[in-house]
Structure 1
């Protein structure tokens, strides 16, 4: 799509949302705005047609209770973790400037492993019946796996090699993401700057059904939430973080999403609601001095992060 076409669509799409943009209440998604937990189209096709692109506002979500400072700067975050291969490809656009590709933004992701455990929080059970985290034979570092940063190129794209995320209590499978600008790469991680967007990336149930029928995902037994039951995803398609997915559970998936951010504004996301395990040390996960604390047993409602 030409920039001029995108600009015209943006003007139309933002007609009723301009006040929200001025107030910095969300980000702009240069993506399909379809609704529902499952998009139309064949299984191996993208979830939305390219000509459905719009530039429209949507809010940041909570960063959840499993965030850690000091994730490593790298493309491959797996550290030997077992699971169905997944490539996450996020395109970041500068919403105030005709949604042009945003070069030099720092994209950060973090997610659970195939059994639902997060690095740094492996003492916290993901729910259901699951093997202990330390029995995973992948050899990953318990404080750093499945977390990382990448910097966007001239095309605004940051890409990660990971695995399809497992589930944990009360939540549909998802990958957490933040977009940072204004900082710098230092000591193998990122520091300074501001957070322009905090989001969560979701998958159509047909993909999770195919993945969770395979080992090692089958070793986590219990009732997982479907996309329509998730407390963060509200049925807004890509506007709410639903990824366009290609591939299959045999060879792996490629999941893509385009988001627009305002690089001049801080938008760190909503507060954590519900499950709130104790945070480990604020030292970078790659630091030899870091010893993750044992998270507290959650009380009341389970995670809505």
Structure 2
């Protein structure tokens, strides 16, 4: 279970059209935040590194996360391992094709730019004495039914070994989001312009439930010409585990989509519940990515 350190006003309502909340880092309350699906393209054994681009083209993005220990007055947490992964500007992930019917196949130069086709745009960093981990990457692309997003996990109790992180527990599994105005600004630039079709707006994303920073909406500064900085402060309980594989840390269903009544925490159609399955794929699956979203 993860908490987001933000003020009650930031958590109680979602952002207005085209606007993102502007949290004041370190000046707020810790509010428990639900975990979400880990998604289908997590890579075990991702490398330790700050720069995860591996030559991938796109708008430069600095991702900075600050981790706090929620049970201990949100004290800054040193040596937590932050793991991130996301698709590239073409909506490809390692060992996958461009995602979504609207995604054209990228030129060969774009697909061979990464030094390692299994590790681009993913990696680990441990937090420093200020509780902060920072990554250099590019703004993620988009695919059908999903707004641009970044996957994240926070681990504690393990250790660096063999160039990666092993052992311990996953304390939280989440996804990080951007206000639509930044996705619009980035989407108007190459190579993102080669990806045609209708991009899903944040309000229609089936994972983001409108809670602002509480649900992973990052504070963004800068511009698409010079690069963007995205920040978020989160608080974890180092004694609890939540992998995002099937249920929340307390055994409740993952809030992978809005339910018909708008309540988070409802099981996502297509995700097994009590052993049952349906024909509708989860929102972050390869099958769901093959459909073009409605505006």
In which range does the TM-score fall when normalised by the shorter chain?
0.7 to 0.9
Equivalent runs, 1:24-39 vs 2, <5 Å = 26-32=1-7, 33-34=10-11, 35-38=13-16
Which residue of 36, 40, 45 maps to 1:65? Answer: 40
Equivalent runs, 1:69-84 vs 2, <5 Å = 69-84=44-59
**What is the Cα deviation at residue 301 of structure 1?**
8.6
Question: Is the aligned partner of 1:97 residue 2:72?
Answer: yes
* Secondary structure of the structure 2 residue equivalent to 1:30: strand
**What is the Cα deviation at residue 129 of structure 1?**
3.4
CA distance in 2, matches of 1:245, 1:148: 21
Q: 1:60-83 CA distances to partner (integer Å, 9 max, x unpaired)?
A: 111111111010100000001000
Could you say which residue in structure 2 is the equivalent of 1:282? none
CA distance in 1, matches of 2:17, 2:79: 32
Question: Is the aligned partner of 1:106 residue 2:81?
Answer: yes
Could you say which residue in structure 2 is the equivalent of 1:147? 122
Could you say which residue in structure 2 is the equivalent of 1:22? none
Equivalent runs, 1:226-265 vs 2, <5 Å = 226-265=201-240
CA distance in 2, matches of 1:96, 1:75: 28
CA distance in 2, matches of 1:299, 1:203: 21
**Gap regions ≥5 residues in structure 2:** 247-255, 257-267, 272-284
**Gap regions ≥5 residues in structure 1:** 1-25, 277-295
How many residue pairs align between the two structures? 256
Could you say which residue in structure 1 is the equivalent of 2:287? 298
CA distance in 2, matches of 1:83, 1:275: 33
Could you say which residue in structure 2 is the equivalent of 1:127? 101
* Secondary structure of the structure 2 residue equivalent to 1:184: strand
CA distance in 2, matches of 1:224, 1:161: 24
Equivalent runs, 1:208-287 vs 2, <5 Å = 208-269=183-244, 271=246
Kept in 2, the 8 Å contact 1:79–1:138? The answer is no
* Secondary structure of the structure 2 residue equivalent to 1:171: coil
Kept in 2, the 8 Å contact 1:274–1:300? The answer is no
Aligned alpha-carbon RMSD (Å): 2.7
